[in-house]
Structure formats: C-alpha cells, structure tokens
Homo-oligomer: A and B are copies of this chain.
C-alpha cells in the first residue's frame, strides 16, 4: 500500500469533504495523531498535502484548520472551472468516444437520483458530470486540477442547508449540454456551459451569503 502520510491525508480529505470535519475545526497534531494512530511527524506531512489542495489552512504557530471557502474562493473556483471545462468541450472532437459516454452516463445517473429524491447522490453525479467534461481534454493535469477544485467546492457545500436547491435547477441543463455534445454542436455547448457556470456561481454565492449574514 501507499505510505502512511498519503493514506492519512486521503482519510482526512474524505472526512472533510463529507462534512464530518466542518470548516473552522482545528486539527490538533497531538489529538488527531493518537486518534488516527500516527505520529506527529507523519501527520504534519499529511497536513502539507491537504493544505496544498486548500482543504485546510495552515496558520503558523497556531495550527491547521478546516478551511471555510470565502466568496472570493467560490468565484475563483468557478472561473477556473469555466476555463478547464470549456477547454474540454472544445477538445471533444479529439477525445475517444468513451469519454463522451462518461459524460452522458453521469447525466443519466444524476437524473435517476433526482427521480428518487436522492439529492446527495444527484450532487455527486453532478460533480462527476463536470469532471467528465474536463476529462474530454485527455489531460492528466486538468483531471487533477478539476478534482481538487471540485473537492474544495464540496467543502463549501457541506455547510449549506439544501443540496436540492443547489443542484436541482441545473440537472436539466446538464442534459442540454450532453445532448449538444452528442450532436457535435460544441460551440453551442460551450456557450451553454459558460452561462450555466455563471448562474451556478451566483446561486452558490447567494446561498453562502444567506448563511454568512445571519451569523
């Protein structure tokens, strides 16, 4: 198996993106070390890995805290997503056929989840849809970047009340984009994706403001 620091980081990443460790929580080297059965040195290495993905914040001489993405973070994440995902759409012609099927499969999954009101599942499928859009570029680095960005976004979502309000309005637009891609209308798909991400960004920022205001 991989080394301990990597495993520890993976485990913590999962805990964070699933909301078990909420933003603002302090991750004590001592306490977490004994809880996870690793030494402080190893845990510190894991912290470096997570800090690089912006899931935790390292405040010198104070410790590491689960990150609370700001409005500026959200806006920036959507800006980068727009750059990377539209690049995937533009690269559709050069991508193998299986890559497009991954896109349509994710859309179908999201629709199936929505059918039975499984909004957590719909959210996961939604993120997979966008990951699949980026994967059309056939670029390992774009895949890595996008995975990190979506994990960070998921972290922003965990404090928000309704996953349904965040995802439901966009499911039929996923289908629209997938259909445009299947029809080879990449320019139209790019336009739609661009507007889609702008709207989604506004929705998320609005939800964030709602919970930041009355705090």
Contact = CB atoms under 8 A, between A and B. Distances in A.
Contact of A49 (B48, B139, B142): B48
Contacts of A138: 79
A76 B140 contact: yes
A79 B87 CA distance: 9
A2 interface: yes
Contacts of A48: 5, 45, 48-49
A76 B45 contact: no
Interface centre among A2, A138, A141 (most CB of B within 10 A): A141
Contact of A2 (B60, B84, B137, B140): B60
A53 to B, nearest CB: 9
Interface in A1-46: 2-3, 5, 41, 44-45
Interface string A59-89: 0100000000000000011011011101100
A82 B82 CA distance: 14
In the assembly, how many copies of this chain are there? 2
Interface string A98-124: 000000000000000000000000000
A45 B5 CA distance: 10
A122 to B, nearest CB: 26
Given A2-B60, A52-B52, A60-B3, A83 B45 contact: no
A141 B87 contact: no
Interface in A134-158: 137-142, 145, 149
A142 B45 contact: no
Contacts of A52: 49, 52
Contact of A82 (B5, B41, B87, B149): B87
Given A48-B5, A52-B52, A60-B3, A79 B41 contact: no
B87 A142 contact: no
Nearest to A77: B141
A79 B44 contact: no
The 5 A-B pairs with the shortest beta carbon distances in the complex, nearest first, are A83-B87, A79-B139, A48-B48, A52-B52, A80-B141
23 contacts: A41-B41, A41-B44, A45-B45, A45-B48, A49-B52, A76-B140, A77-B141, A79-B137, A79-B138, A79-B141, A79-B142, A80-B139, A80-B141, A80-B142, A82-B87, A83-B84, A83-B137, A83-B139, A83-B142, A86-B87, A87-B87, A141-B149, A145-B145
